[in-house]
A and B are shown apart, each in its own frame.
Chain A
Amino acid sequence: MKNEEKIRKYLDGELTGEELLKFEEEINNSSELKRTIDSYKNTLNQYRRFSNPDIQNSYFVNIIPEFRERIKKKKESKLKPVFVLGSVSLVIISLLVIFIFNKDREIMYNDNIVLQDIESEELNSYVNNYSRDFNSIQLTEVVEYDSLFNSMILNELNINGNSRNYFADVTGNEFYTILDELSEEEIDGIYNTLISQKIY
Chain B
Amino acid sequence: MTEQNNDYNLIERFNSGDETAFNEIVRKYQQRIYWHARRMTGNHLDADEIVQEVLLVMYKKLKDFRFKSSLYTWIYTITSTRSINLLRRRSVREIFSFQDNEFDKASDSDILTELENKEEVIRMLKHLQKIPVKQREVFMLRAIDGLSYDEISELTGKSVGGLKSNYFHALKKITGLMQNEE
Q: Which A residues have a C-beta under 8 Å from some C-beta of B?
A: 4, 7-8, 11-12, 39-40, 42-44, 46-48, 50-51, 53-56, 58-60, 63-64, 66-67, 70-71
Whether A50 pairs with B26 at a CB distance below 8 angstroms is: no
Q: Which B residues have a C-beta under 8 Å from some C-beta of A?
A: 23, 26-27, 30-31, 34, 48, 51-52, 55-56, 59, 111-117, 120-121, 124, 139, 143-146, 164, 167-168, 171-172, 174-175, 178-179
Whether A4 pairs with B56 at a CB distance below 8 angstroms is: no
Alpha-carbon distance between A54 and B111 when the two chains are bound, in angstroms: 10
Selected from B23, B51, B115, the residue in CB contact (under 8 A) with A55 is B115
Assuming the A-B contacts A50-B121, A50-B124, A53-B121, are A64 and B171 also in contact, with contact meaning beta carbons closer than 8 angstroms in the complex?
no
Q: Which residues of B contact A64 (CB under 8 A)?
A: 23, 26-27
Assuming the A-B contacts A40-B171, A53-B115, are A46 and B52 also in contact, with contact meaning beta carbons closer than 8 angstroms in the complex?
no
- Of B34, B143, B146, B174, most A-chain CB atoms within 10 Å: B143
Assuming the A-B contacts A50-B121, A63-B30, are A39 and B179 also in contact, with contact meaning beta carbons closer than 8 angstroms in the complex?
yes
Whether B52 pairs with A8 at a CB distance below 8 angstroms is: no
Given contacts A8-B168, A8-B171, A40-B171, 9 further A-B contacts (CB under 8 A): A39-B179, A42-B175, A46-B120, A56-B113, A59-B34, A60-B31, A63-B34, A67-B26, A67-B55
Whether B167 pairs with A8 at a CB distance below 8 angstroms is: yes
Residue of B nearest to A47 (CB): B143
Whether A39 pairs with B143 at a CB distance below 8 angstroms is: no
Whether B145 pairs with A51 at a CB distance below 8 angstroms is: yes
Least CB distance, B66 to chain A, in whole angstroms: 24
Q: Which residues of A contact B52 (CB under 8 A)?
A: 63, 66-67, 70
Could you name 9 residue pairs across A and B whose Cβ atoms are closer than 8 Å?
Answer: A39-B178, A47-B124, A53-B115, A54-B115, A55-B111, A55-B115, A60-B34, A63-B51, A67-B26
Whether B117 pairs with A53 at a CB distance below 8 angstroms is: yes
Q: Which residues of B contact A39 (CB under 8 A)?
A: 175, 178-179
Alpha-carbon distance between A12 and B167 when the two chains are bound, in angstroms: 10
Q: Which residues of B contact A40 (CB under 8 A)?
A: 171-172, 175
Q: Which residues of B contact A67 (CB under 8 A)?
A: 26, 52, 55-56, 59
Whether B112 pairs with A53 at a CB distance below 8 angstroms is: yes
Residue of B nearest to A59 (CB): B111
Q: Which residues of A contact B167 (CB under 8 A)?
A: 8
Least CB distance, B137 to chain A, in whole angstroms: 14
Whether B30 pairs with A4 at a CB distance below 8 angstroms is: no
Alpha-carbon distance between A59 and B145 when the two chains are bound, in angstroms: 21
Whether B146 pairs with A43 at a CB distance below 8 angstroms is: no
Alpha-carbon distance between A47 and B123 when the two chains are bound, in angstroms: 11
Whether A43 pairs with B171 at a CB distance below 8 angstroms is: yes
Q: Which residues of B contact A59 (CB under 8 A)?
A: 34, 48, 111
Q: Which residues of B contact A42 (CB under 8 A)?
A: 175, 178
Least CB distance, A67 to chain B, in whole angstroms: 5
Alpha-carbon distance between A154 and B144 when the two chains are bound, in angstroms: 107
